[in-house]
């Protein structure tokens, strides 16, 4: 991941053949971590990488080639070559997102070298396409279909699927004793589909905190990292 403490928290890094969800408020490090993974996945396996390519489905216009180049230089890699190994697709609607996954499945079948698929953010298109309360059931059904496609991709091609998610205020969680009344978008559908759920939040200054919220085998622990121009790094007190 670029940060030793985060690698240790995750038992080595992000797992292939599984869906990992990272949720949190704006500017808490989700997108920067996603960019860093697009580079580290290309490192040789002996250096903790995946020796493979990355795919990035961008639903909010967050992908920045210049950040990728800076991270690549930090790891001693050729920036242009690293960019060339990342397939980026911009999804504007939830339907478009689903169609892109079909094209991506075909590409991954053709080139068996992908190790990472990032979706940043998984729920954004659904929040714009389905705004009314009456459409919630349909939205959840469509989200479920996209998550099922992602699960199939992760298992079929031995890929780590990493999804970012936003948080919204929880109307039922505003009790006096609740420390964090914000909850991830997507409800039970999202919770059920994600193998591992990670919560990210801002600490003091540049510090960011990442916590394992749900996982079949990782302990519910927390680690800190920081975001720099060259991606995610260890937090220096």
The confidence score (pLDDT) of residue 179 equals 57
Question: What Å distances lie between residue 188 and 65, 140, 143, 183, 184, CA to CA?
Answer: 34, 9, 11, 11, 10
Please report the pLDDT score of residue 173 as a whole number: 52
Cβ–Cβ < 8 Å for 199, 20: no
79 in any annotated domain:
yes
> What is residue 101's predicted lDDT score, i.e. its pLDDT?
97
Successive 10-residue mean pLDDT values, the chain, 237 residues = 97 96 94 98 93 97 98 98 98 96 97 96 89 84 96 98 90 55 87 96 94 96 96 91
Q: What is the pLDDT of residue 128?
A: 84
Residue 31 within a domain: yes
Evaluate whether residue 126 is within a structural domain. yes
Are residues 140 and 146 in contact, defined by beta-carbon separation less than 8 angstroms? no
Total domain count, the chain? 1
User: What pLDDT, on the 0 to 100 scale, is given for residue 100?
Assistant: 97
Q: Which domain holds residue 40?
A: 16-170+187-203+217-234
**Contact (Cβ atoms closer than 8 angstroms) between residue 233 and residue 2:** yes
Distance CA 141, CA 168 (A): 20
Predicted TM-score (pTM) of the model is 0.93
* Closest to 22 in 3D by CA, of 213, 160, 180: 213
Q: What is the CATH number of the domain that holds 108?
A: 3.40.50.300
Encoded tokens for 189: 């559908």
Decide if 210 is inside a domain: no
| Residue 77 to residue 70: CA distance in whole angstroms | 10
pLDDT value of position 174: 52
Could you tell me if residue 180 is inside a domain?
A: no
For residue 176, being part of any structural domain is answered with no
Alpha-carbon span 90 to 103, nearest angstrom: 13
């Amino acid at each position: 991941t670029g940060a030793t403490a985060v690698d240790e928290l995750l038992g080595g890094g992000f797992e292939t053949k599984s869906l990992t969800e990272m949720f949190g408020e704006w500017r808490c490090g989700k997108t920067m971590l996603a960019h860093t993974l697009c580079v580290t996945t290309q490192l040789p396996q002996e250096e903790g990488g995946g020796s493979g390519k990355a795919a990035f489905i961008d639903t909010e216009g967050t992908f920045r080639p210049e950040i990728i180049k800076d991270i690549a230089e930090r790891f001693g890699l050729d920036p242009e070559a690293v960019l060339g190994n990342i397939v980026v697709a911009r999804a504007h609607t939830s339907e478009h997102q689903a169609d892109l996954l079909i094209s991506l499945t075909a590409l991954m079948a053709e080139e068996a070298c992908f190790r990472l698929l990032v979706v940043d953010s998984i729920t954004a298109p659904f929040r714009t396409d389905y705004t009314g309360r009456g459409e919630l059931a349909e939205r959840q059904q469509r989200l479920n279909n996209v998550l099922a496609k992602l699960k199939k991709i992760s298992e079929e091609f031995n890929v780590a699927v990493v999804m970012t998610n936003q948080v919204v205020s929880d109307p039922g969680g505003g009790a006096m004793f609740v420390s964090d009344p914000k909850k991830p978008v997507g409800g039970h559908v999202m919770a059920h589909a994600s193998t591992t759920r990670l919560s990210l939040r801002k600490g003091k200054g540049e510090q960011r905190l990442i916590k394992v919220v749900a996982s079949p085998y990782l302990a519910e622990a927390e680690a800190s990292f920081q975001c720099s121009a060259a991606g995610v790094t260890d937090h220096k007190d």
